Amino acid sequence: MVQLIFRKFEELGTLNAVLQYLVTHHIQIGVRVLSGPTKGDLEWHRPNRATLQNLLRHPTYAGAYAYGRRQVDPRKKKAGRPHTGRVVKPCEEWLVLIKDHHPAYISWEKYQQNIAQLKSNQNRSNEQGHPRQGVGLLCGLLVCGRCGGRMAVQYSHGQDHHRYICAREKVDYGGEICQHLSGACLDEYVVDQVLQALEPAALELSLAAARHLEEDRLELDKVWHQRLERAQFETDRARRHYQLVEPENRLVARQLAQEWEAKLQAQQQLQEDYERFCCEKPKQLSPDQQQQIRRLAQDLPALWSVPTTTQAQRKEIIRQVIDKIIVTVEGTSEQVQVMIEWSGGFSCQAQIIRPVAKWTQLSYYPQLCERLEQLVEANLTTDEIVDCLHQEGFRPPKRRQTFTREIVQTLIRHLGLRPRPLPKAREPLSEHEWWLPELAVTLGMPTVTLYNWVRRGWVKARQQPTSPKHWIIWADEIELERLRTHRQRPVGDILRQRWKGKVPTIAIPPE
């Protein structure tokens, strides 16, 4: 199996391709258990990036013995964490290297070629994948709401388009992409939120909140001091009790000594807790600094958009106010849940719309189809259908905001919807009955509007009992007059009356 991996790397040239190959062929990797009760056993794991990389980089497969591959770089060491700062050194800097130490899978030359290949892959992906001045404002802040992994930014068409993608499962295990969304829509939303949060009014609120926090802390500090005093008092008392006891009463003395020690320990613990409380104290801004921030807030929206402001500066501002953004795409639909965690602990949640490629991805696709079918059956023209869909708030997929005749016609054809020719299907009408489109012409109003009146129950209408279910409206001379008057009233008027819950002034004509 090790042979296979080396052969495949030579053939395919990248870790990703090897990983993909192993996953496609359901090949597992054998790993020796290093600790625990089953130590030394061979276990079979699904292939992952880290294991493959380790295999390709490790000199033992080239028959070499090496010591000191990983050395501590003092610059990368973090204070208080003993295991940080270890870096893998190039082979010239290893402390010990004995070639031809044991039987090898690959030659030393091959090993060095592989290392060089890995390095050049890495450089290439650095150049392509992470332009420093990239448009992806939010990289590093995004967390996948599905799996908790970090989301990365990916560019296409140079740097013009970017998307955010959760690909941990794909990169590490050759699995599927977890979720992705267009970068522009998320950037736009977050920038909007950031600018709102930094508006002068919002800023005053957070400055006030900081003051409240300070007052709260003063209160807490008082409570702490009372607790510390009580602890001091109790320790003193225990000490006095111990000192007063006669040395002959050994048992009592031992008991009191223990009590004194317990009190001392409790007091010390409390003191440490208090010191921690003091360390966690949030930074206070001086009045000068506050004034400076207020001035900046006034200018920020203008500064944000001028060309001299770099993308790096914008990123920096966003990072100052936001800790984390959790993104969850609902299924494969256009709906995305976004949770922003602001620095300072406050968080807010919203739903945004991402562009999707297919009609069927739209969360309202079933409703849209149903509505379209109704509109086609009602014999509306394509233009009328377009108007109607816009009025009802439907949007097509991709980045489009509006429907066009072509889009609607394509969708109608795709769904196999066909308006039937009117005359054949029509049933004979009774007295004072009208077909909806004809009445619309008589009243001089758009068919869509009349159709909306039907839906709102503002006219007396029925549907033809047999399919196609065309609308038939009842209107005698008086009703016609009423509808004409109704038509001249502003829509806002009519809606307002309904809004107040009043009985509509339009009377339904008697049977």
Q: Could you tell me the end-to-end alpha-carbon distance of the chain, in angstroms, rounded to an integer? A: 86
Query: Binding segment for Zn ion among 163-171, 200-208, 354-362, 488-496 (CB under 5 A)?
Result: 163-171
Residue placing its CB nearer to Zn ion in the complex, 144 or 297: 144
Q: DSSP string covering 87-133, please?
A: EEPPGGG-SEEETTSS--SS-HHHHHHHHHHHHHHHHHHHHHH--TT
Residue placing its CB nearer to Zn ion in the complex, 147 or 508: 147
Query: How many helices and strands, by DSSP H and E, does the chain display?
Result: 18, 16
Residue placing its CB nearer to Zn ion in the complex, 169 or 259: 169
Contact 384, 376 (CB under 8 A): no
Query: Binding segment for Zn ion among 91-99, 148-156, 394-402, 478-486 (CB under 5 A)?
Result: 148-156
Residue of the chain from 56, 166, 185, 186 that contacts Zn ion (CB under 5 A): 166
Residue of the chain from 140, 149, 175, 200 that contacts Zn ion (CB under 5 A): 149
Residue of the chain from 46, 89, 101, 146 that contacts Zn ion (CB under 5 A): 146
Neighbours of 469 (CB within 10 A): 14
Tokens found for residue 260: 């004194």
Contact 126, 306 (CB under 8 A): no
Give the nearest distance from C-beta 177 to Zn ion in angstroms: 8
Residue placing its CB nearer to Zn ion in the complex, 165 or 256: 165
User: Binding marks (x or -) toward Zn ion, 227..256, rule CB under 5 A?
Assistant: ------------------------------
Residue placing its CB nearer to Zn ion in the complex, 72 or 147: 147
Tokens found for residue 293: 């921030």
Q: What are φ and ψ of residue 458, in 5° steps?
A: -85, -10
Q: Where are the alpha helices (DSSP H) in 351-460?
A: 365-377, 382-391, 405-415, 422-425, 436-443, 447-456
- 144 makes contact with Zn ion (CB under 5 A): yes
* Contacts (Cβ under 8 Å, ≥6 apart) of 440: 446, 447, 449, 450
Contact 337, 330 (CB under 8 A): yes
Residue placing its CB nearer to Zn ion in the complex, 149 or 509: 149
Q: Which residues of 233-272 are buried (b: 16+ CB within 10 A; e: fewer)?
A: ebbeebbebbeeeeeeeeeebeebeebbeebeeebeebee
Which positions from 475 through 504 interact with Zn ion, judged by CB under 5 A? none
Give the nearest distance from C-beta 503 to Zn ion in angstroms: 54
Give the nearest distance from C-beta 312 to Zn ion in angstroms: 27
- By CB under 5 A, the count of residues binding Zn ion is 6
Give the nearest distance from C-beta 178 to Zn ion in angstroms: 3
Give the nearest distance from C-beta 168 to Zn ion in angstroms: 6
User: Binding marks (x or -) toward Zn ion, 167..206, rule CB under 5 A?
Assistant: -----------x----------------------------
Give the nearest distance from C-beta 144 to Zn ion in angstroms: 3
Give the nearest distance from C-beta 306 to Zn ion in angstroms: 36
Residues found near Zn ion in the complex (CB under 5 A): 144, 146-147, 149, 166, 178
